[in-house]
Amino acid sequence: MKILPEVSRTLSEYLLLPNLTTEDCTPANVDLTTPVVRHRVGEPSPIRIATPLVSAIMEAVSSPRLAVALARTGGMAFIHQNQDIASQAADVAAVKGHKAGFRRAELHVAPTATLGDITALTRGCAQDFVAVTDDGTAEGRFLGLITVDDFHPDRHAPTDPVTTRMRAVEDLVTAPAAVSLSDANETIWHHRLDVLPVLTPHARLASVVLRADYESHTRFRHESVDADKRFRVGAGINTRDHTDRVPALVDAGADVLCIDSSDGYSVYQAKTLEFVRDKYGADVHVGAGNVVDARAFRYLADAGAAWVKVGIGGGSICTTRETKGIGRGQASALIDVARARDAYAQETGVYVPLCCDGGLLTDYHMAIALALGADFIMLGRYFARFDESPNRRVRIGGRLLKEYWGEGSARARNIARYEQGGDDIAFEEGVDGYVPYAGSLQQTVPITVAKLKATLISCGSTSLPAFRDSAILVPVSEQSHRQTGAEVMVRDHSQDAGE
């Protein structure tokens, strides 16, 4: 038995001291670009993201829709593995089917469909247009488009066929499949279009270009894309069926993979990494974890992990600490593992990025985690709140909420992630609940990014490596932490008649 001479500390127990802010420290000059996978010291990482945020490998969080939205803002999503292999591969392929500026049509109907069918299809869907094809599938011959603005339920009967209100292909401005994004946008603005269909030589709908996406691209200039301009996406794997799951995900186009486990200090993770390395060499990047100390980091780094996830039991819906007594305060874990990461880089010449997973309750916790050594941050609750997450939005007690459940909960029953020695989970390591609804990801992530940039500016830095090198942190006493709370009654604008 050994007891470490330390107090296990959380991210809430530290604050940053400001450094000198120079004239170069402006939001426009701050670069949050960060490596995702291992690389030689002094050389760029093969995969980097401009926004150091990735979504958790969770059923309640990471859907293809969220993956596309997050890639647009410069981050990356991880499609969860608590589903059959074919379904997960299809989710990955759906994301990779989106090129920056080019979208796949999500909805297709045959000419026999009715206007009522269109209303039902578009209700709650991110796309407000439907492609009409001869057989009602994405592979069918393109006949035309119909949007929710092409008919009105008070003027047009829901039983009317879609052909009575659709815009036929011969009346549409279209573009060939080889069109560049700049030429497509030029066509959109010249012809005052909202939607530009892009057709294959066989008259099939390859993709669409939207005016709204042009405006989004001007706002988010650092999308996460591969060499073919397709959005990047990651996928979770496990140590049980990896010999079948990994090839399917690689074939589907996953940019990175990550072993999804609550405890990564395991020979099974090393064997999984060995399998991928033997089959694919260095072409497939696999992250591993989770860990909370230097020993576990070194074990996974030596095994070839592309990056290592840090954190056990700190997630808002995780109960591993309560049920198993295993874990470590997230700040203490990051400090220890970051030292090991830096020592490993100095010894081997290879830099293995760290992902902070869990223990992040506020935006400022992200800044503390990055200062303590994290290269990027994995978030579950944060992303579960948004429109783009796959969970249901509900109203309870007058409040809009989104469902949110842990992978160790009875609802998820993620046996592969929480290895308990059987074909089912014997006890829960997560809860099932709700989080406050927060609207669109594309509205909130830019605010979080602005906060991170403001923190770097106050600390006299314009990049994450410089921020880590120069950051000065101070532990916060319980009394000091208590004083940070507001001592005024915050105004409720909805009840203030004077506003």
Residue 260 is assigned to a ligand binding site: yes
d(CA 111, CA 70): 34
Q: What is the mean pLDDT of residues 442-457?
A: 96
Return mean pLDDT, the chain.
Answer: 88
Sorting pLDDT into bands at 50, 70 and 90, what band is 351? very high
Please say if the pLDDT value at position 186 is more than 60: yes
Q: Is residue 121 scored above 90 in pLDDT? A: no
Binned at pLDDT 50, 70 and 90, residue 326 comes out as: confident
329 is in an annotated binding site: no
Find the catalytic residue in 25, 318, 355, 459. Answer: 318
Mean pLDDT of 466-471: 97
Residue 158 falls inside a structural domain: yes
**Domain identity same for 189 and 94:** no
Domain match, 34 and 123 both: no
Both 193 and 317 in one domain: the answer is no
User: What integer is the mean pLDDT of 31-50?
Assistant: 97
pLDDT of residue 499: 41
Better-scored residue on pLDDT, 201 or 305: 305
Dihedral angle sign, alpha carbons of residues 430, 303, 375, 33? negative
- % of the chain exceeding 70 in pLDDT: 87
163: helix, strand or coil? helix
Q: Is the pLDDT of residue 291 over 90?
A: yes
Average pLDDT over residues 34-58: 97
Is 356 known as a binding-site position? no
pTM of the model: 0.82
Q: What is the mean pLDDT of residues 262-279?
A: 96
Element housing 457 (H / E)? helix 441-458
Is 262 assigned to a binding site? yes
> The domain containing residue 115 runs over which residues?
108-210
Name the band, by pLDDT with cuts 50, 70 and 90, for residue 484. low
Q: Residue 497 — very low, low, confident or very high, per pLDDT cuts 50/70/90? A: very low
- Considering the domain architecture, whether residues 125 and 46 belong to the same structural domain is answered as no
Identify whether 417 is a catalytic site residue.
Answer: yes
Do residues 383 and 461 both lie within one domain? yes
Examine the domain organization and report whether 306 and 421 are in the same domain.
Answer: yes
457 is in an annotated binding site: no
Rg of the chain (C-alpha set): 24
Mean pLDDT computed over 217-237: 86
Instruction: Indicate whether 101 pLDDT > 80.
Output: no
Structure tokens at 490: 């915050």
Q: Of the listed 38, 230, 298, 417, which one is catalytic?
A: 417
State whether 177 and 288 are in the same domain.
no
Domain match, 206 and 229 both: no
Asked about 318 being catalytic, the answer comes back as yes
Cβ proximity of 414 and 304 under 8 Å: no
* Residue 492 counted as domain residue: no
Residue where a domain stops, chosen among 177, 210, 243: 210
CB of 138 within 8 A of CB of 94? no
Higher pLDDT, 166 or 305: 305
Number of domains in the chain: 2
Q: Is 318 annotated as a binding residue?
A: yes
